[in-house]
Structure 1
Amino acid sequence: MKSKRLAQGIALHAAMGIVVVICVFPVLWSCVISVKSVGEKVSGFSALAIQNPTLANYARLFQLVPIGQQLGNSVFTAVVGTVTTLFFCALAGFAFAKYQFPYRDALFYFVVATMTIPAEVGAVPLFLIMKEVGLINSLWSLILPRLATAVGVFYLRQYILEVPDDILDAARIDGCRDFGLFWKIVCPVIKPALASWASLTLIARWNDFFWPLLFLNKPEKHTLMVSVSTLPLTDGLATPWQVILAGTTLVIVPSVLLYLAMQTFQKAGALEGAIKG
């Protein structure tokens, strides 16, 4: 029995190792090619061998696009967009979960129904609205239209439903007002859900391509994802794969680091919530 379990464990870990290698290899390949000299091989497994590592590709990348400014744009839209979305989704989820008001269920079902409609369907009217209010070429055009999302409201509402009403009633008796109930009681209890949704939103905002491309026309307003897509595909007679992959690396590596960091916060929040529970 023990040998059978051992064999199953080895097989499971081997399968997981294969999946990890398949997922990590493109990222590793991009990072390696980004520091290879022009003229070195960039395709096949043998391309992982570096003969003359160089940072000239990154220097060339900074010459082609204003990476520093666009990196700041990406950080601003990702962080501010995540914080605002987290706050308003949780606030709306709290209202749907713990308050009684006319047509509450019908309104919630309508919000959930909008999840079936791709966001890109509303691209044209949303663009016209942003143009009318003067937010074209403003980073706020990437934040304000998504202050709350149907998926986020639904996700956080399901967690808030699990918060006992008795705790809220006791807080009301002690004089806690409505916003105090949300901020001081509900938010600490649903920290694991907040951390989970924050990680998903932060990575999605960082990797956002469609909306920045639609709303931001000036190169200095572009996010890092858009700027990398505008890199020239030819440099003289050859395709500058090393430079292109240097830009790709600058986009991918922060995503991976963000995920690992948010995963740590998510585990910490889950442990804290379990201890409080």
Structure 2
Amino acid sequence: MSKRITQLAQETRNKIKKTYVYEPLSFKPVALVQDNEVYHYHLDHLGTPRELTNDAGDIVWKVRYKSWGNVALKECEEIENNIRFQGQYYDEESGLHYNRHRYYSPDSGQFITQDPIGLMGGVNNYQYTPNPIGWVDPFGLCKEQKVITDPAYLLAAPSALTPEMPNAPITSVILPAGFKFSQAISPNQRTLGKFWTTDIIPDIDYVRNELAVIPSFKKKISSVREIEITRPVRAQLSTVGPQEENGIFYSGGGSQIDVLEYDPYDPFVKFADKPEKKIK
């Protein structure tokens, strides 16, 4: 049987007692208890409070932040909330965030004192994190990468237009694990590349024209392989735009999948079990 330990923190100020309830073994706040009333935290993907609601579901506190954690806009403040990034407590008098082992300045995006663990925390002794959208530092010692699982935070802009084809939309999606698509490959090609298609590829002419794979992109084309995604990834679905090379026009018009987080060393895609199909 697993044991879940709820973490509590309490403060008393101006005869007002506040109790903060956190998720087990984390710095993500779940609830605030004040004057025998329970308020519920609503967090973003990093665990930063965005809203507080009462038992009736009414919003009693809501703010918008700038990238490095300072409040850009207070939309509702019926009660006080000083919890900021994970592990941080806002000090109204100084404008700083108390971060367990030192103070953090959201205006500069840095700590105001050196890292007590020295270079073990990184080469910049004042740095909070390299990227406040994907990292937290709850102790003020060493950054910690957060795994973002909510698709809403993984998508790029919902839609745009292909510049070369003004009426062709670009749509951002999350491709699920198990999603399959095709890719034209060169002889002895081992890496899977960044652009794929859901089209049925009948021949090399289709690859050159409808998919606009010009010779400088891929000199030789020998076959088509089915590719399978092994974990959810961000991607943009669009129509292939036209290309021109050495006076030859390649029309485009086929479907295109552009994986936004492509990394040749990250095996989130693999060749499917289906054998490759030779094309001419």
TM-score, normalised by the number of residues in structure 1: 0.20
Normalization by structure 2: what TM-score? 0.19
- Relative to its length, the structure with more helix (as a share) is 1
Greater radius of gyration (CA):
2
Tell me: higher relative CO, structure 1 or 2? Use CA pairs within 8 A at least 6 residues apart.
Answer: 1
